[in-house]
């Protein structure tokens, strides 16, 4: 897993040093440059504004902020949330290295949620107006962007299904399997990883109480599905977890 960033303060910043290099980034197979040749990657690299560093709990953008940039997560984890009518947070997603933030604002030109760093993180700012110009010159880039948007729509549909039809154990198992597959795509272990979000945030996202999450963790541990050490999770039986998520197996109460 990525290590926390070490931050230093300075009166001046070397913009050239902060500028993201798409061609040399290890995440280019996950981000917008996937499938582009070197010349097109260099053209994309020229529009990337800067690398922006955020401390844990720092906001990347807030609801109703005007839309200017997409943000490619280079290091770290984020959560997005909205405030319900009573002023309470409703977590809408967790984002990690290699994913894009900010697509919620494309249609309305204003952000529809808040995005907050779950740990010290770094993003690459991509001015959307300049990205749109590139779409006309690089059709493959536009196709890949459409693919990313399609994946986002599918993710939102899956969340609706998760919250609407699944039992608590299914929701939690599906959440763990989803994290597992996303870490595997990034070259990390699919069976051992740290939960960067709190149990309270997980419960909020899954429509469960923090007490329910704690009970599920305890039950999964007793049944040999998980090993937990503080925030580090080890999946001991991924196949059974997938079956639980699909609803083809049940987790017996302990």
Question: pLDDT digits over 157-168, tens only?
Answer: 777 776 777 899
Q: What are phi and psi of 204, to 5 degrees?
A: -60, -45
pLDDT, average across residues 108-114: 94
N residues, the chain = 254
| CATH domain 19-162 topology | Jelly Rolls (2.60.120)
pLDDT, averaged across the chain = 83
Q: Pick the more confident residue, 226 or 155.
A: 226
pLDDT at residue 35, rounded to an integer: 65
Per residue in 3-31, is it b (16+ CB within 10 Å) or e — as a string? eeeeeeeeeeeeeeeeebebeebebbebb
Q: List Cα–Cα distances, 47 to 31, 36, 114, in angstroms.
A: 15, 15, 25
Among residues 31, 47, 46, 64, the alpha carbon closest in space to that of 129 is found at 47
| Distance (Å, whole) CA 151 – CA 165 | 21
2-6, 81-85, 86-90, 175-179, range with the lowest pLDDT: 2-6
pLDDT at residue 94, rounded to an integer: 95
pLDDT at residue 253, rounded to an integer: 57
Contact between residue 109 and residue 199 where contact means Cβ atoms under 8 Å apart: no
Residue 82 has pLDDT above 90, yes or no: yes
Convert the pLDDT of each residue in 32-51 to its tens digit.
666 677 777 777 777 777 78
**Taking the alpha carbons of 133, 138, 144, 150 in that order, is the dihedral positive or negative?**
positive
Q: Pick the more confident residue, 62 or 165.
A: 62
Is 3.40.1710.10 the CATH number for 167-246? no
Instruction: Write down the domain spans for the chain.
Output: 19-162, 167-246
Question: What is the band of 148 on the pLDDT scale with cuts at 50, 70, 90?
Answer: confident
> Angle formed by the axes of helices 139-165 and 38-47, to 10°?
70
Q: Pick the more confident residue, 136 or 243.
A: 243
């Amino acid at each position: 897993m990525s290590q926390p960033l070490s931050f230093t303060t300075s009166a001046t910043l070397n913009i050239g040093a902060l500028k993201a290099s798409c061609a040399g980034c290890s995440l280019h197979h996950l981000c917008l440059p996937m499938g582009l040749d070197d010349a097109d990657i260099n053209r994309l690299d020229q529009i990337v504004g800067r690398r922006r560093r955020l401390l844990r709990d720092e906001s990347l953008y807030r609801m109703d902020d005007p839309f200017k940039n997409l943000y490619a997560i280079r290091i770290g984890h984020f959560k997005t949330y909205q405030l319900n009518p009573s002023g309470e947070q409703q977590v809408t997603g967790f984002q990690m290295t290699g994913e894009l933030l900010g697509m919620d604002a494309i249609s309305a030109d204003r952000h529809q949620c808040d995005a907050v760093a779950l740990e010290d993180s770094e993003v690459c700012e991509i001015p959307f107006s300049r990205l749109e110009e590139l779409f006309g010159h690089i059709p493959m880039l536009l196709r890949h962007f459409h693919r990313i948007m399609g994946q986002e729509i599918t993710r939102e549909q899956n969340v609706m299904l998760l919250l609407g039809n699944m039992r608590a154990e299914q929701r939690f198992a599906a959440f763990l399997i989803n994290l597992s597959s996303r870490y595997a795509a990034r070259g990390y272990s699919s069976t051992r990883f740290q939960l960067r979000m709190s149990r309270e945030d997980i419960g909020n996202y899954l429509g469960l109480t923090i007490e329910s999450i704690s009970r599920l963790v305890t039950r999964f541990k007793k049944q040999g599905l998980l090993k937990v050490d503080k925030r580090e999770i080890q999946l001991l039986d991924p196949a059974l977890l997938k079956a639980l998520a699909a609803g083809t197996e049940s987790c017996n109460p302990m």
